């Protein structure tokens, strides 16, 4: 069971690169069992916000409180050239911190590889995958870890519409069935329309924190 209360509360976040402020006074809350979309045009600050929420960047001002274990899936992840990891190795690493036996771990790994649509590529090295496939391998790793909070930066970028929809359904399932707090940056307005909450960014300002109709209607 996820811990009670908000998964992440962030207040008054400001951040800049090389002295240029790109995120201005942004406050957001992520809840368990909820899929939150971060929307906005190129350069509006989605990746920066996701990285601040995950704790890989420190805000210039403002604060972030996280309650629960967290997994971050970055945009365009690099493959370690000197460490030839396969898809199976990569996803297996997600199970390392969990108290489960080898057999169960193997089952989880196979399930997650299939869930992100990489079955058949289990023995392929990460260096031989496309950027989108590599990102999906890391998404499978994040889900295999059963983190309480999963943050993602455009896991749907570059996918065809069937694969994209598949990833969106997987994320909604993680939130609604497993109670995970999912936060996901995306350019896909159809996905954004199905999220439970939307944080819309415009030039580094959060302009909307809407609850979308899709989920609200089912609550």
Ligand X SMILES: Nc1ncnc2c1ncn2[C@@H]1O[C@H](COP(=O)(O)OP(=O)(O)OP(=O)(O)O)[C@@H](O)[C@H]1O
- Cα separation, 36 vs 7, whole angstroms: 12
Q: For residues 88 and 200, which CB has a smaller minimum distance to ligand X in the complex?
A: 200
The answer to whether residue 135 forms part of the interface with ligand X (CB under 6 A) is: no
The pair of structure tokens assigned to 212 is: 């979308």
Rule CB under 6 A: say whether 44 interacts with ligand X. yes
Q: Tokens 């909604």 identify what position? A: 172
**Stretch in the footprint of ligand X (CB under 6 A) among 4-12, 17-25, 100-108, 164-172:** 17-25
Of 1-9, 40-48, 57-65, 111-119, which segment contacts ligand X by CB under 6 A? Answer: 40-48
- Angle 218-185-109 (CA atoms, 0-180°, nearest 5)? 80
Least distance between ligand X and beta carbon 98 (Å) = 31
Q: Is-contact 88 123, C-beta < 8 A? A: yes
Phi then psi for residue 38, to 5 deg, are -105, 115
In 3D space, the residue among 12, 22, 62, 25 whose CA is nearest the CA of residue 203 turns out to be 22
Tell me which H or E stretch contains 67: none
Q: Which CB sits closer to ligand X, 46 or 168?
A: 46
User: Mask 48-77, x = binds ligand X (CB under 6 A)?
Assistant: x-----------------------------
Stretch that binds ligand X, among 44-52, 83-91, 116-124, 130-138 (CB under 6 A): 44-52
Reduced to 3 states, what is the DSSP secondary structure of residue 149?
A: strand
Segment near ligand X (CB under 6 A); pick from 41-49, 143-151, 158-166, 171-179: 41-49
Task: Pick the closer one to ligand X by CB: 148 or 153.
Answer: 153
């Amino acid at each position: 069971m996820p811990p009670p209360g908000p998964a992440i509360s962030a207040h008054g976040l400001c951040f800049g690169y090389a002295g240029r402020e790109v995120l201005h006074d942004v406050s957001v809350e992520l809840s368990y069992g909820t899929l939150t979309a971060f929307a906005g045009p190129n350069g509006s600050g989605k990746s920066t916000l996701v990285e601040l929420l995950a704790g890989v960047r420190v805000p210039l001002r403002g604060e972030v409180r996280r309650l629960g274990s967290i997994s971050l899936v970055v945009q365009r992840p690099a493959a370690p050239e000197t460490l030839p990891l396969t898809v199976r190795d990569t996803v297996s690493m997600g199970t390392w911190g969990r108290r489960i036996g080898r057999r169960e771990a193997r089952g989880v790994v196979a399930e997650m590889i299939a869930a992100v649509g990489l079955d058949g590529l289990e023995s392929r090295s990460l260096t031989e995958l496309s950027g989108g496939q590599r990102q999906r391998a890391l998404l499978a790793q994040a889900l295999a870890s059963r983190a309480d909070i999963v943050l993602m930066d455009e896991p749907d970028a570059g996918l065809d519409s069937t694969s994209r929809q598949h990833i969106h359904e997987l994320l909604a399932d993680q939130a609604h069935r497993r109670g995970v707090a999912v936060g996901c940056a995306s350019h896909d307005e159809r996905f954004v329309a199905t999220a439970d909450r939307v944080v819309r960014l415009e030039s580094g300002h959060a302009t909307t924190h809407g609850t979308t109709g899709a989920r609200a209607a089912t609550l």
